[in-house]
Amino acid sequence: MFLEPRIPPNTGNAIRMVSGTGATLHLVEPLGFDLSDAKLKRAGLDYHDLASVKVHPSLGAALASAELSGSRVFAFTAKATTWHTAMEFQPGDVLLFGPEPTGLPDEALEHPRVTDLVRIPMLPGRRSLNLSNAAAVVTYEAWRQQGFPGAS
């Protein structure tokens, strides 16, 4: 789930990634671009029709949706101390990432539905990974833990 993404190519890259993993990309408005943006389409190439993408008007609405109402929510932030590899991901978990370049705001990190705050390890002095790269790192770790269901 991307909260208020602002850079079209990051979301396009994520669309391509979810099409390859069977995940669903949930986008929380406001978006910093139109879904018909040429840069978004270029980054997603011809994978838009193969990807599951859902747009929600707010974080609360997204987490209250029937599809996500019982899901655990892992919020990714450089403020966390627990690495993503320490988590035991389950099918249906929500991986929540914040907008570029600010990351998740405190109100998202403190949302009552957030199960845990998690980080991706990196060298000291670095702010963060690129949004689509971070989402791919964690999505593939979660998929690996499940035994890559559906992969060939």
Per-residue pLDDT at 39 = 61
Q: Which sign does the torsion angle of CA 121, 10, 100, 115 carry? A: negative
* Mean per-residue pLDDT over the chain, rounded: 92
- Per-residue pLDDT tens digits for 47-82: 667 889 999 999 999 999 999 999 999 999 999 999
Q: What percent of the chain has pLDDT over 70?
A: 92
Q: Which sign does the torsion angle of CA 129, 132, 133, 137 carry? A: positive
State the Rg of the chain over Cα: 14
CA atoms within 13 A on the CB side of 130: 11
Query: Rounded to a whole number, what is the distance in angstroms from the first to the last CA of the chain?
Result: 25
CATH (residue range 2-145): 3.40.1280.10
Q: Which pLDDT band holds residue 37 (cuts at 50, 70, 90)?
A: low
Average pLDDT over residues 106-118: 97
